[in-house]
């Protein structure tokens, strides 16, 4: 269904964003220098709302990854970084946070133009979220501690004692690969704990949304992080990403992206048995119980899927509503969807922007069509439009069956499938009937129902009477095929540390 939508291209308001975009042909950041890809090849980056060309980025490949990994290895071994105290690393991280804050408006505008999201998403959620990652892990840098261990070994020489302890050491060179849906904050979730731990890093941003990663590299350099500690190689996943994932000089890969590409990381890691953290896809259930406060639940579950045009790993893309209130909730969500204003992300009236590119828009439209063809009802939405066809109407599908593709697969767009249920045992089975396990939300006024369901749902995060609540303090990550490991929260710094045991006879 074609959607009539006029999009007027809007320029950024800040002089800094204008100045950044005027550079047009950006370079990538290796060993403290701004460099071209060795091949000289470039990729274009466009505004997904209008299709306007924003600039070009180097199409990095294996040779560039080699160079960046060497720079990161040299920095890892250099006294300037290796011997830096935790307190000094903490100050650097805090400085990065201050610089992001000082340049918040510019970063939000660049993210909106490159990714399509409304400006307010960056301003009130994602960029403050990135800042908090740096501040939270600044605190962690001075709290990396081992333990002394009273061992049970009893065969030491007479008169001697055993003294055993552990120390935590940085893992080494980290390769970070991130997706395009929330570029800055997802990148910060990796850089901040890795630098707090004393690692060095090569970042491969998503090819569609590399601009804020390049601007962030400038701020990281301005903060005083030594050359080579943080490097950015731009380029395609199949070339730059694959080379980084397989590189024998990389000790660990931290990947956020689709489950499909996440599985490729396993093969790529085999050569040198790299450590892996995988933050992958989801098909998260939002469950509305019969006693839910619907004033809260209806906008809550609508926002769970429509925020950021559904391009959220934890999006509440499967809506389960008790039979007794199914019509009321589904109609409420459909009404919410009808009221969402689509537009250019820099227009202050815009509530939902385009999806990131034409390919993703076609993919989402293909899912909606497959649902319709399989017998689902399009309660609202289903349209696609804009100058490049990148705008997708917020869509609610009903009359779906558990075996339909739209129920089983991650759509990663503003499309929710709604299913009624009639008893609590059934809802646990339905919620867990997925190979994903990233997140879920439960909407109920019953304390015991909420916590019983939270215990029974196989997901890394369960929200009660809310959805998509993120914070640097709260671990996030998946069970089942939604990933390995957790980011954010105290344990995230462990992703970048090795434990060494030292055992002495004294
Ligand atoms: P994607 O897997 O296609 O790409 C992610 C990154 O991997 C990009 O930088 C891409 O260039 C790179 N890449 C692609 N092919 C590669 C290869 N062969 N080798 C190495 N790198 C490669 O994902 P996407 O479409 O950019 O992002 C959407 C996906 O990300 C969704 O599945 C979403 O759920 C997931 N995601 C997960 C989380 C989480 O925290 N669990 C957060 C955000 C997004």
Give the pLDDT confidence of 421-447 residue by residue, as tens digits. 999 889 999 999 999 999 999 999 999
pLDDT in tens, 388-417: 999 999 999 999 999 999 999 999 999 999
Please tell me the distance between residue 79's alpha carbon and the centre of ligand 1 in angstroms.
Answer: 34
| Interval 280-301: pLDDT, tens | 999 999 999 999 999 999 999 9
- Measured CA to CA in angstroms, residue 217 lies from 115, 148, 401, 494 at distances of 18, 39, 47, 24
**What structural domains does the chain harbor?**
10-280+484-502 (3.40.605.10), 285-471 (3.40.309.10)
- Residue 74 has a CB neighbour count (10 Å cut-off) of 15
pLDDT surpasses 80 at 420: yes
CB 177 within 8 A of CB 255: yes
- For residues 2 and 379, the model is more confident at 379
Nearest protein Cα to ligand 1, atom 16: 237
pLDDT digits (tens, 9 = 90+) for 195-251: 999 999 999 999 999 999 999 999 999 999 999 999 999 999 999 999 999 999 999
Ligand 1 center from residue 440 Cα (angstroms): 21
> By the 8 A CB rule, do 463 and 442 touch?
yes
Our answer to whether residue 503 is catalytic in this structure is no
C-alpha span between 497 and 487 (Å, rounded): 14
Known catalytic residue at 77: no
- Supply angle C-alpha 414, 415, 416, rounded to 5: 125
Of the candidates 132, 279, 410, 487, the residue annotated as catalytic is 279
* Residue 500, helix vs strand vs coil: strand
User: Residue 4 pLDDT more than 90?
Assistant: no
| Per-chain mean pLDDT for the chain | 97
Beta strands across the sheet bearing 148-149: 148-149, 162-170, 497-505
Query: Ligand 1: distance of its center to the CA of 99 in Å?
Result: 27
* Cα distance from N-terminal residue to C-terminal residue, the chain: 78
pLDDT, one tens digit per residue, over 265-277 is 999 999 999 999 9
Based on its alpha-carbon atoms, the radius of gyration of the chain, rounded to whole angstroms, reads 24
- In sequence order, the 6+-apart residues with CB closer than 8 A to the CB of 331 are none
CB contact at 8 A, 252 and 496: yes
User: In Å, how far are 103, 105, 403 from 15, measured between CA atoms?
Assistant: 11, 10, 52
> Could you tell me which residues come within 8 angstroms of residue 387 by beta carbon, excluding any fewer than 6 positions away?
7, 49, 50, 51
DSSP type of residue 158: T
379 CB neighbour count, 10 Å cutoff: 18
Beta strands in 399-455, from DSSP E residues, in sequence order: 415-421, 439-443
**Catalytic residue among 108, 111, 207, 313, which?**
313
Among 203, 232, 237, say which to mutate for ligand 1: greatest number of ligand atoms within 8 Å of CB.
Answer: 237
């Amino acid at each position: 269904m074609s959607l009539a939508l006029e999009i007027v291209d809007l320029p950024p308001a800040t002089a800094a964003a204008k100045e950044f975009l005027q550079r047009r042909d950006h370079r990538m950041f290796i060993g403290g220098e701004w460099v071209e890809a060795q091949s000289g090849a470039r990729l274009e980056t466009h505004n997904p709302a209008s299709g306007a060309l924003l600039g070009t980025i180097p199409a990095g490949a294996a040779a560039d990854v080699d160079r960046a990994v060497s720079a990161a290895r040299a920095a890892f071994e250099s006294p300037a970084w290796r011997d830096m105290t935790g307190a000094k690393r903490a100050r650097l991280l805090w400085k990065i946070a201050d610089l992001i804050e000082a340049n918040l408006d510019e970063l939000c505008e660049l993210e909106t133009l490159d990714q399509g999201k409304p400006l307010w998403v960056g301003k009130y959620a994602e960029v403050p979220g990135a800042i908090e990652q740096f501040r939270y892990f600044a605190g962690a840098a001075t709290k990396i501690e081992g333990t002394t261990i009273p061992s049970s070994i009893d065969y030491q020489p007479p008169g001697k004692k055993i003294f055993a302890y552990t120390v935590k050491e940085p893992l080494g060179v980290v390769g970070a690969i991130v997706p395009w849906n929330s570029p800055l904050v997802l990148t910060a979730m990796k850089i901040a704990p890795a630098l707090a731990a004393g690692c060095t890093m090569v970042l491969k941003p998503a090819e569609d949304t590399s601009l804020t990663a390049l601007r962030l590299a400038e701020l990281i350099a301005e903060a005083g992080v030594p050359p080579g500690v943080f490097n950015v190689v731009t380029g395609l996943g199949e070339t730059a990403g694959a080379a980084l994932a397989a590189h024998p000089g990389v000790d660990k890969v931290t990947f956020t992206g689709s489950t499909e590409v996440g599985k490729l990381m396993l093969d790529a890691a085999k050569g040198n048995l790299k450590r892996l953290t995988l933050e992958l896809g989801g098909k998260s259930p939002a469950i509305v119980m019969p006693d839910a406060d619907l004033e809260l639940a209806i906008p809550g579950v609508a926002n769970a899927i429509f925020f950021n045009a559904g391009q959220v790993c934890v999006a509440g893309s499967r809506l389960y509503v008790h039979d007794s209130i199914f019509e009321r909730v589904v109609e409420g969500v459909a009404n919410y969807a009808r009221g969402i204003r689509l537009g250019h992300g820099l227009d202050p009236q815009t509530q939902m922007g385009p999806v990131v590119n034409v390919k993703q828009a076609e993919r989402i439209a293909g899912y909606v069509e497959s649902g319709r063809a399989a017998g689902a009802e399009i309660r609202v939405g289903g349209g696609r439009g804009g100058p490049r066809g990148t705008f997708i109407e917020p869509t609610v599908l009903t009359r779906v069956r558990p075996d339909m593709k739209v129920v089983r697969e991650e759509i990663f767009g503003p499309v929710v499938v709604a299913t009624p249920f009639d008893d609590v045992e059934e809802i646990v089975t339905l919620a867990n009937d997925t190979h994903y396990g990233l997140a879920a939300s439960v909407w109920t006024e019953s304390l015991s129902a909420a916590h019983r369901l939270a215990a029974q749902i196989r997901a890394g995060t369960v929200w009660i009477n809310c959805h998509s609540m993120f914070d640097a303090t709260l671990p996030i990550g998946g069970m089942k095929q939604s990933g390995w490991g957790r980011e954010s929260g105290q344990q995230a710094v462990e992703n970048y540390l090795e434990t060494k045991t030292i055992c002495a006879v004294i």
